[in-house]
Chain A
Amino acid sequence: MKTKQFGRRELLRAAGATLAVPFFLKQAFAGAAPRPPNLVMLMQTNGTNQKNYWPAAGTFDSPILHELLNDPVLAAKTTLLQNINFDMTGGPTGNGHDWGFHGLYSGFAAVNSGPDQFGGGISLDHVVTQTVKLGRPIDKLHCGVHAVDYKIINAGRASFSALGPHQHVPCELDLYALYAKVFGAPTADTPQARAAAMQRIVQKKSVLDAVAGDLQALQGRLGPSEKNKVDIHLTAVRDFENRLSAVIPAQTGACAVVKPSRTDVLSEGQGNEANAEALLRLFMEFIANAVACDMVGCLSFQFGRGGDHFHYRWLDIPGMPEDAHDLVAHLDDGNNPEVARINTAIKLWYTTLVTDLARRLDAFPQADGATALDNSLVVWGNEIATGTHGMDKIPLALLGKAGGRLKKTGYIVDSGVQPHHRLGATVLNIMGNPVSGFGNLPDCGMLKGLELDLQT
């Protein structure tokens, strides 16, 4: 069993008003730009059963999405994006899993690195945090669940987050470390404890200053290509130093003390599918907490590795074969009712996870009277459209109202076939970056059929 330590925020909170110009407050009062919504990007794998995913004509419900859309409140805050096809510009390498896993949220074509495929450019999560002032204590997190009893068959499918071609950013797997990072329990309530915490900040900053000094010295010796590596490193150090020095407003209510509902689930490492179900549920809870408490501006999550090989034994689906990837997803071309039944049952389970996330967010009132779901943009995508590696009609849904920037929700957007790049361009515009395109389609425009209010 993992031992947990929730200590980081002790010093953050204890620092209180004693710091000169707190980072968070600077952010909060910087300029007059509207505050962007919280962004959550979810990546599911292995496609869906198309027939059972999309609502029939004239309806807003479907077998796979039933739990979400059968809830009138959540349905009213859900927008389905139909006819979004994966655009092959750039000639991505690998197969459909790689194309979508690396391309859906980057707009760049997957590239080879030896026998494996990696992202071909910067992914949306990084573009957002590099171009938009999010104003949260933590700009971004990329996390997920890898607990699967299957050897790694493609190294690149471990993470879809990338800073550039081949520059993958690891997926954070340790749930409890993430809680420690985001929700360290505030215990420095006495003057002595606050003084000790302040002292610690000073000391840790001095350490990070030394590190930054070494990095700057190294930067001066490098040519352009290598300098980029060190730039990324230096940015990481400075961002961390800012976080360390930030003053987090005292949290009240449900955000005063936030802990995982279970603390007995191993969260690190590979090859442990026995923990997958519990971890996935706990991560939904974590994402809801992190977003609802306004601690993370951009949170991306992957429900496993790309092209995952979960066995889903916990679902106890009658007739379920041993390998859902090979023996269910790959066979579900829509013509085999038995395969469709099993695949639908699997995908339906993912809907219960996402519904749980949405429900948690919607149960969380925020200062402006709206709910955390109202003030968030949750993008729920899938690397491929069908288990047979079909790339047309990627299952895509937006949850939440993005702080009012999604003017109309609770319907299906269908303005004909549109390239997936428009999703990224739309998200960036909603977040406050007025781009005209995304990835390797710089002029693709935004999704047609969405009603937006970008002045909110």
Chain B
Amino acid sequence: MMPRARTFALAGAWLLALLSFSCTALVDNKQSGASGTAGGPNAGAGGGPREQPVSCLHALTRRVRRLSAREYLNVLTDLLGEGAATAAKPLLPFEPRLAGFDNQDGGLLVSAAYQEALFNIAEKVAGEADPAKLAPCAAGADAASCLSAFAQSFARRGYGRAPTSEELSRLLAAGATGTDYATSVRLVIEAVLQSPNAVYATELGSPDAGKSDVEVTLAPHEVATQMSLVLTAARPDEALLAAVDAGQLSTADQLRAQLTRLLATPRAQTQLRHFIDGWLDIGPVADAPKDAPTFPEYTPELAQAMQQELDQFIDAKIAGGSGTLLSLLTDPSTNIPPALASIYGASLTPTGLDPARRKGILSLPGLLTYHSADQHSGPIERGLFVKRQLFCQVLPPPPASVLDRLARMPLDTKDKARTTRQKYEMHVNEPLCAGCHDQFDGIGFGLEEMDALGRYRTTENGLPVDSNGNLAGTDVDGVFNGVVQLTDKLAQSEQIKTCFTQHFFRFSASRPPNADEQCVIDAWSKTFSAGGTHLQDLLTSWLTEPRFAVRKEDR
């Protein structure tokens, strides 16, 4: 880089810096004032029917939700094996996550490109399927009967319910155009894989639900699908389908039993990790941009090791739902890949991590690396991350005038005469900036002891690092120094627990909460907090929520 260019090498985060208007952080959901009517979802653990106190949750409108790519691939795996999902994955269009999650109803459509992808996938995986294994038909047996039996069983797994007679007729009509039995089987496979019954999850109630009714109750198979998608990102497995068929998915105990069973599956572990990733707004660590000249040690191998530690930490703390939010926040990492030894440095002692320096998920190099800037620690990004993701506060983007100001007053992030904190501390002295930055800069400053790769440091550019931080606008306001003290404060926050619950609501409902659903979040959060922040309590609250299976008629 030419010397001249150095003079305007600026921090990306600086665009967030010079805010010329006042801003007020808002909690990302309106208080409804209707809380307190929920009856403690975990209360009344008896085995009776799902009769519970009236919930403040308004009935949701009937809807259909397209499965996410991940959910659809799991359906493919269940129907045709992992090879089919592997073959299909690159054919699906890239779709971004909404608010951290890939299952949000608002982002899932079957556009022309998506339909073409479904067609191509169906054709490809059906072509690679072995009809003799999938749909064996003994010599001399009636091929039409064999095909019908196969269509019924295949559709049942693909749809999460038995096909109706009309649906079966359509499948068989498609199969009838095959010139031989194997082709017919493949055509049935193609039809099932593209059917809206496989592509969508319905929340409509029974087909014959009264059109004049104000509310409808989800059909048992829809309850099972909701459960299965949230817990495993897949259609119901055979045990759940059998429970539906046997009418054993109606009482709270029956639901809890299935919940416990599903939580023990590997898919549930992956699914809950996705939830935690969404809560933390974290994508693949390897996607974190790092300036190569500044951080030559940030190699794909290092990023992979960070990812491995992060994933294993989350899995261990979630522990199939029996883990707690508090353990995620405060437990030390214990399964550290050798490649991270250089990152942890002196923090890694023979007996584990130095508890004075490292504690909880916020201290993991993977998370610190992801939530930092490409050339430096990114105190602004980190502060915003804590406020937005952990406290659910809404902070507006900087106004356009910031960039004009930025262009006139460039800040050299490669300036070796000051620390990162010193470069950004001018926010405090700039009234135009302080209005917003007072709300989050102090958090990021308090994490300055961790550099952009999550390495503990006491100096930067030969100058002492100041990690004195400040939390403002929260229920645990006050000063702290370093990630351990910040973590201790966060662990005391009720707002953190409510925000976590809010993220869970969005994840489980596949949509953001309405303003008048804050009472549900408050009730769930109360149970969640009182029980020691077990994730399983949130799942139980959701599943046994009295309005869980009720939908508002919309026809």
Contacts and interface: CB of A to CB of B under 8 A. Distances in A.
Given A163-B109, A210-B173, A388-B407, A223 B115 contact: no
Interface residues of A toward B: which range?
A: 35 or more
B555 A223 contact: yes
B182 to A, nearest CB: 13
A390 B66 CA distance: 38
A315 interface: no
Nearest to B92: A170
Nearest to B28: A114
A151 interface: yes
B20 interface: no
A116 B114 CA distance: 22
B473 interface: no
Contacts of B5: 319-321, 338, 342
Interface string B177-217: 11100010001001100111101101010010000000000
Interface in B88-139: 90-91, 93-100, 104, 106-107, 109-116, 119-120, 122-123
Interface string B511-542: 01000000000000000000000000000000
Given A140-B112, A150-B289, A181-B116, A223 B62 contact: yes
Contact of A214 (B113, B196, B283, B553): B196
B11 A326 contact: yes
A226 B63 contact: yes
A226 B506 CA distance: 19
Contacts of B281: 115
Given A116-B98, A170-B95, A209-B173, A236 B403 contact: no
Nearest to B120: A177
A95 B400 contact: yes
Nearest to B184: A203
B316 interface: no
A204 B123 CA distance: 9
Contacts of B62: 222-223, 226
A110 to B, nearest CB: 11
Contacts of B543: none
Given A230-B196, A325-B12, A330 B407 contact: yes
Interface stretch (B39-47, B163-171, B438-446, B450-458): B163-171
Interface in B4-33: 4-5, 7-12, 14-15
Nearest to B195: A214
Contact of A209 (B9, B174, B370): B174
Question: Which residue of A210, A229, A309, A390 has the most chain B CB atoms within 10 A of its CB atom?
Answer: A210
Interface string A194-227: 0000010011101111110111011001111110
Interface in B30-87: 61-64, 66
Nearest to B410: A331
Nearest to B124: A5
A218 B9 CA distance: 56
Contacts of A114: 98-100, 506, 512
Contacts of B107: 113, 155, 166, 168
A433 B331 CA distance: 63
Interface string B278-294: 00010110111101111
B475 interface: no
Contact of B173 (A95, A206, A239): A206
B177 A203 contact: yes
A251 interface: no
A456 interface: no
B63 A202 contact: no
B286 A271 contact: yes
Contacts of A215: 196
Contact of B94 (A149, A158, A309, A330): A158
B554 A225 contact: yes
Interface string A115-146: 11000000000000000000000001010001
A152 B404 contact: no
Contacts of A363: none
Nearest to B119: A240
Contacts of A319: 1-2, 4-5
A218 B11 contact: no
A406 B10 CA distance: 44
Interface string B243-262: 00000000000000000000
B554 A226 contact: yes
Given A115-B388, A210-B171, A322-B375, A94 B397 contact: yes
A51 interface: no
Contacts of B555: 221-223
B348 interface: no
Interface in B386-424: 388, 397-398, 400, 403-404, 406-408, 410
A5 to B, nearest CB: 9
Contacts of B374: 322-323
B490 to A, nearest CB: 20
A209 B284 CA distance: 40
Nearest to B555: A223
B10 A271 contact: no
Contact of B9 (A214, A270, A321): A321
B112 A170 contact: no
B191 to A, nearest CB: 4
Contact of B106 (A166, A223, A268, A339): A166
Nearest to B209: A221
A109 to B, nearest CB: 15
Nearest to A305: B96
B16 to A, nearest CB: 11
A152 B174 contact: no
B58 to A, nearest CB: 16
Interface string A146-181: 100111100110100001001111111110010001
Given A113-B98, A113-B99, A207-B174, A199 B4 contact: no
B190 A152 contact: no
Nearest to B388: A115
A200 to B, nearest CB: 10
A4 interface: no
B295 to A, nearest CB: 11
A152 B173 contact: no
B289 A233 contact: no
Contacts of A390: 400
A336 B123 CA distance: 56
A333 B194 contact: no
A236 B94 contact: no
A119 to B, nearest CB: 12
Interface of B: 1-2, 4-5, 7-12, 14-15, 61-64, 66, 90-91, 93-100, 104, 106-107, 109-116, 119-120, 122-123, 166-167, 170-171, 173-174, 176-179, 183, 187, 190-191, 194-197, 199-200, 202, 204, 207, 281, 283-284, 286-289, 291-294, 370, 374-375, 388, 397-398, 400, 403-404, 406-408, 410, 506, 512, 553-555
Q: Which 6 A-B pairs have the closest CB atoms?
A: A223-B554, A114-B99, A155-B96, A326-B12, A319-B5, A170-B93
9 contacts: A149-B289, A152-B97, A168-B107, A218-B196, A326-B11, A330-B15, A331-B8, A333-B403, A388-B400
